[in-house]
Amino acid sequence: MDDTVSENAKKYVGDSVKKDEGGLWETVKVIIQALLIAVLVRTILFQPFNIPSGSLIPTLLIGDYLFVSKYSYGYSKYSIPFGPPLFNGRIFGSQPKRGDIVVFKLPKDNSTDYIKRVIGLPGDKIQVIGGLLHINGKPVQRERVEDYKTTDLYGRTVSVPMYKETFPEGTSHFVIERDGDRGYWDNTEVYTVKPDHFFMMGDNRDNSTDSRDDANVGEVPFENLVGRAEIIFFSIDENSSLWRPWEWPTHIRWDRMFERIR
């Protein structure tokens, strides 16, 4: 009798251990599968990105969180997290259009994420004269609109000139000139965009380190493009924090949620 009870107890304990081990292994498999799916989605489809600076004001604001489509321009080694040197160039490559807002790896170090607007395509001649953008020797159409409220170097709220800029292809966007048309980069040399490179600029023309600055950014190789900015999925005031959710109701920019990026 005692031996029978002992054997049954051992069998029960053994079955429980096997069930626990099986349940643990199933949990581990689910976690691994979820991680693989997340890596696949981030590599092939979309990557989240947040705006850390004001270089694209008024189009994108500090505190905007957006999705970048990885498939828009094909794939390079920079499409893969950490940029392993698996191959050179791009596969399934598709050239960006003028006016696209693009996330790319900074050519200076090939690791820092930057986001700017495509201004010049391979072979284009780009120049800024008196604050007015010129493409291939012709001034880009620029229409003055209402002033835009932003902050100056001292954090004070100021009204600055805003313009509607229209590219030769017909696409439009807004730019601001914080320092008027007398900023540091409002008069430049002529830049001739190299083959397989792109000329990038921010919409906040007097507060953007971009392709006008050869020493720090310069022209961007096609290989360095990560993807095209598509949609804002979350936006919160720059003085708030994701880690203080009790502030969200008053600091979230509800009107920017799920806004398409142009």
Residue in 55, 79, 208, 211 annotated catalytic: 55
- Tell me whether residue 55 is one of the annotated catalytic residues: yes
* C-alpha to C-alpha distances, 153 to 32, 52, 60, 206, nearest whole angstrom: 47, 16, 19, 11
Q: What angle do CA 139, 142, 148 make, to 5 degrees?
A: 145
Q: Rounded CA gap, 139 and 145, in Å?
A: 18
Residues 6+ apart with CB under 8 A from 36: none
CB 122 within 8 A of CB 98: no
Residue in 70, 77, 105, 116 annotated catalytic: 116
Cβ neighbour number for residue 63 with a 10 Å cutoff: 21
- Tell me whether residue 53 is one of the annotated catalytic residues: no
CB 188 within 8 A of CB 210: no
Catalytic residues: 55, 116
